[in-house]
Amino acid sequence: MDADSYVEVKPNRNIPSFRSGDTVRVHVKIVEGERERIQVFEGVVIRKKRGGINSNFTVRRVSHGIGVERVFPYHSPLIAKVEVTKVGRVRRARLYYLR
């Protein structure tokens, strides 16, 4: 059984269209106890995985000389918004060579 058959997949209105190689700024809701705040993660999209309800994308950045990658589900309610800050020109769909 598939999760897509149980849940109707609606596009997340907070996520614009972007491609691998683009630099994006992802605003994520962080819940700490009773408080809720927005944390920003900016980096290069190195992959997009399409799979209906299981779709996600991976963003990589270098922080203090250490590479950090985060995987964000498309349909997560924790993503407040995504901004495309720079459009990249690449010829690959998976940019694992940036690691």
Position 93 in a domain: no
**Which domain range does residue 60 map to?**
3-88
Average pLDDT over residues 55-83: 95
- At residue 2, the pLDDT reads 66
- At residue 21, the pLDDT reads 97
With 70 as the cut, is the pLDDT of residue 1 above it?
Answer: no
Q: Evaluate whether 79 touches 72 at the Cβ level (below 8 Å).
A: yes
Average pLDDT over residues 39-50: 96
Position 10 in a domain: yes
Q: pLDDT band at residue 85, thresholds of 50, 70 and 90? A: very high
Sheet with 56-63, edge to edge strand ranges: 66-73, 56-63, 35-49, 23-32, 79-86
In CATH, what number is assigned to the domain containing residue 79? 2.30.30.790
| Element containing residue 3 per DSSP (H, E) | helix 3-6
